[in-house]
Chain A
């Protein structure tokens, strides 16, 4: 009868079959362990037993009855013992009203005394002070008294309690709370209500306690029957959340005959019993009561499915899921895709075979009754902005996740003398050789310190790296690897990227018609690494967008009524193929890469990954591959750190270590820089070769800071600077070597033409001029270019290198522009 009655139907409304919807307990007797733990105290408050969530936990026994609710609860109470499987009610009522009774009441099946717990909680709430509060404000209120006052002021409905605080104050209470959460939390609520009403007698709302930040958190996979009815905390990702279900709490009925309104009837175990007859003495019409929807009280309920995060899934497994039951304020606290940490009570309930059957299946449904939800940040490595949290009282730093043990391990690691080498080895261990490139990439991962001067000048801390190399030298693999490892890494391919796709674009919102800004890859990888593959195949307009990003670290947009500057504090890791697909050592880097010099100079390190025929390397490669096939493949890399350790090591260092230059290091830096600049001016060189620019010194600082970070050192030491110089030199030797002279030549990168190349051209031009002056008359017969070349070769004298026809053609072009001669196809004529 009851289940057919209007209330049940209302409940089902948007949702579902039978009693599932009305309450998870609808077809439940009770979870099995609550059989064991059925309490003599408090337990018989019907709502408390029937609906697990906090709101109904409230017994509200001693508080001033603000609404008709407590009285309703009371009036309902006599009905309860009549229920079949209720324990003998003998001491029930005693426990009920008698929290102050002399006879101790115990939580059923345990030796936990209700009074003890109650007083322990009272002590905790009234007297807990955070350790850092100094002793002189001893007379100030405790942390939680203050928050109670605050709650009263803002008319809030709950108080967040940090489980760490409980543990600090009273470990015993903490243990009881975790083991018997239903009972202890009910008592906690009562204590809170007592305190609240003692402060403000007129305060009407029920204040509940929300526990969070348990000392230990379980993984979804390890939940087992022994966790049932315990307080647990676990992390996961929301994959589905139901619409909000209005759950009826109090029902009001009206007699169709006489119009009499009944008192609100409280839900009992997910059921509302419709009065069979009109309650008015004069009427007493049978089956006349009907539910009045708009006078009933409903509460929000939502069911959310939580799934394991990918990192918790063992190899060859699929993710586990668990249902969460959210109530009231917790509803809609997360949306699908959010990673959250949940504190709640793990519950199991029996399932009825069918709605009309009393028999139950032997299988239980499990779910978690949520007490508290904390959103975790979505990034893989720590994002630096403070977490946008819930209402927790204490900001929970992310490095709490790094337990002490791990920290200690990191400290130990960082103390190792070969940590630098070790980290480099651990980076992409399956990629052979390329040690210096890996070291450079490591520096990029750790990054330098960004500086914001008061004057408004910014110095970026991010290191940009360009890899140029022959096909098949595992550049892309390196990129993929870094992308996997880095915080907020974005991986794009130059071929498929447009300027707006990389930076930001303005779009019209289809619904509102407003213009909105959509972030592109670079903005999305703010504080991360943006990996751009096939950099050379990128369109010029897209590449030009990178100028601003790579030095100013912002993206400015001015279009369609939006003028904005977005942060894009990202390191760029790009890789490119040489223009002729294979590196041509006869051409300069610029000619090989085909990138504008302006962009090129913004890369701190440019590595040329060339496939040089070298027997030693080949032999090592062969050895490596043979070992891969015939020995235990894993043994080769036992020394390396695994990728998860590496990631957390990097993120920890990035977050917590901010090295400064020591005096010694600064001195070394200056000395080295001066030397580097001097290096170009070797004896008697009239050609001005610039070997280093101020950009390089900035790069050097960043590199040495990154190197110090790897050691968890707060100071940049001299050897860091030395290593930074070495890295730069290694990179430059490959990329900025003038193949004609063998010296380091930054002009090569900055202007695309090396100083010696320029000189060679000048010589060529002047000798052509000489030859033409010598051999040709003004307006005379024309001369073939090939003949000219022959002449030049004969002439030989001041040109020591080989001359090609295209060189000649270029030189002739220069002369033609001077108006010295004219070209007619393959011939030249002097004017």
Chain B
């Protein structure tokens, strides 16, 4: 499809203009279209229909930002952290007698003043950040792309300059040059406190409050991105979704001017403007196509997932993973089994306040010493297995000071992220072993409530100051504590009984890859139950309740969740009697230990 007229990869705007011209000639009327797509999306969708084409597009992150050029195509993988509402822009205007479009670009191309006819269209602004707690292995390396890309742009420079000239009248060559050297981004990065030595030399220019609006939780090399969405229904993208956006990268040549203008923190429309302003320091992406990311997308060797077809495969990988986990947990087999089930859990249904499918695990009988051995090992292991992990130390001091829940700051009109604004499927480790007696202040109580609510209902309250809004969150929570945690009442409580400390194993990258793939695949399996077995389950549950009155509906619910996970861990989509009995046995062993 990449015809001679344009190159989707390096000159996407050219492609947009070209197709706009085509659409015009085939009867597209900008005046009545409200900016509806004229075929650009299909064009790009077709061009990037397979994975290999997509992998040609550089991923925008803190390292690639230095060499990626504006007005080229980039990918950004991140979580939608805030929605900044809609933006009206002059979508199309009449240049003489022909229509031109501003879609997918920032800079106004009004010739001079509004003497021509213009059409106002709208687009949506999303503020995206790299997924909190993202682990190393999910990142793609773009080194080879970089080299290729620099070559490419070197060649194309002449041509590009010409193209740009036409479209960016207002952008003086200085800034363009600066853009190529990446300095505007440098500046922006400096504003976020990047610790890279060379860059920290650049003086911080932001005295404005927006620095506080930037995510404190995300790590130092995080790179937020303002994504502008066109032609996509609102329900498509939700807060905290993990999405890959593919689109045109731009930056604002007027950033410097905006920042230089003094004292702009006023009551006037500056609030409206503050929505705009940080974007000067944040790269912007005019999204052409986007897709939601699953864990599979982060696995580079996608070949494996095809191999995971046979039950035998599942069984083998399960065994090797179990062995690994058992080793990590000092040969505590039950703990390893439960941990595996826990790792496979996800919320697959909600009925009012009940989140079906959550399975949090509380390992007790851990103290500071054993934590330093097993806890760290486990943490590292989970980091290499799961895409997003975070650990929260439950200390009085942390609870009293941390901002766990996201909060709306009306001063900047931003949602200030909290630690608990996380993508679905994030794994949380809560370490209660360090908890000492002390006093919780109001923040601490609030935070403890947030955690408890997350654990019980899988919901996080977002504070909008005048009211609170509950956001459904799907987090796997693993709790380490000395006794049974009362602050965090987990679904499964197991006294941890390691028999020995195993030396740290070195895992081959392929094995790790296989395990990741296994976990991701199992998690995404659908699941059902046969009619007869349903009867068996009911009978068993009734019997269990008859013998032990203390069993509540939550316990029964947990048993079923465990059964589901057990079955899924063998790659099966229907529950079998065997797996159900395995769960009952596991539960029996667990109960025994609790005594």
Contact = CB atoms under 8 A, between A and B. Distances in A.
Interface stretch (B41-49, B182-190, B259-267, B433-441): B259-267
A622 B545 contact: yes
B352 interface: yes
B396 interface: no
A135 interface: no
A621 B471 CA distance: 28
Contact of B560 (A84, A361, A366, A626): A626
B356 A629 contact: yes
A33 B119 CA distance: 8
Contacts of A618: 541-542, 545-546
A768 B19 CA distance: 106
A65 interface: no
B410 interface: yes
A20 B269 contact: yes
Given A17-B270, A237-B466, A316-B238, A621 B113 contact: no
A6 interface: no
A171 interface: no
A353 B553 CA distance: 62
B164 to A, nearest CB: 16
Given A17-B261, A228-B120, A359 B108 contact: yes
B534 A630 contact: yes
A539 B545 CA distance: 36
B561 interface: yes
Contact of B410 (A225, A239, A353, A611): A239
B350 interface: yes
B354 A226 contact: no
Contacts of B234: 221, 314, 317
Nearest to B170: A359
Interface in B472-507: 472
Interface stretch (A319-327, A785-793, A794-802): A319-327
B83 interface: yes
B432 interface: no
Interface string A212-245: 0000000001011110100000000101101101
A403 interface: no
Given A224-B122, A226-B34, A315-B238, A615 B546 contact: yes
- Interface size on B, as a range, is 35 or more
Interface in B545-564: 545-546, 549, 552-553, 556-557, 560-561, 564
Interface string A292-335: 00000000000101010010011111111101000000000000
Given A226-B34, A318-B82, A303 B117 contact: no
B102 interface: yes
A473 to B, nearest CB: 9
Given A362-B110, A364-B90, A17 B266 contact: yes
B534 A32 contact: no
B267 A360 contact: no
Contacts of A16: 263-264, 266-268, 270
A636 B349 CA distance: 13
B261 A323 contact: no
Contact of A626 (B90, B118, B121, B541): B541
Contacts of B119: 32, 225
A564 to B, nearest CB: 30
A30 interface: yes
B459 to A, nearest CB: 12
Contacts, number: 237
A728 interface: no
Interface in A413-430: 428-430
Given A317-B238, A634-B351, A626 B261 contact: no
A323 B351 CA distance: 37
Contacts of B257: 353-354
A615 B108 CA distance: 73
A15 interface: yes
Nearest to B81: A318
A55 interface: no
B276 interface: yes
A630 B528 contact: yes
Contact of A21 (B268, B465, B541): B268
A225 B538 contact: no
A633 B235 contact: no
A819 interface: no
A338 to B, nearest CB: 9
B161 interface: no
B206 interface: no
Interface string B86-101: 1111100000000000
B354 A628 contact: yes
Interface in A10-32: 14-18, 20-21, 24, 29-30, 32
Contacts of A348: 88, 120
B307 interface: no
A782 B410 CA distance: 81
Given A242-B267, A303-B268, 8 more contacts: A16-B264, A85-B115, A225-B120, A242-B268, A317-B239, A363-B90, A366-B272, A630-B575
8 contacts: A20-B273, A224-B34, A316-B472, A317-B234, A319-B469, A348-B120, A358-B113, A362-B107
Interface of A: 14-18, 20-21, 24, 29-30, 32-33, 35-36, 84-85, 221, 223-226, 228, 237, 239-240, 242-243, 245, 303, 305, 307, 310, 313-321, 323, 336-337, 348, 350-351, 353-355, 358-367, 428-430, 432, 472, 477, 611, 613, 615, 618-619, 621-626, 628-630, 633-634, 636-637
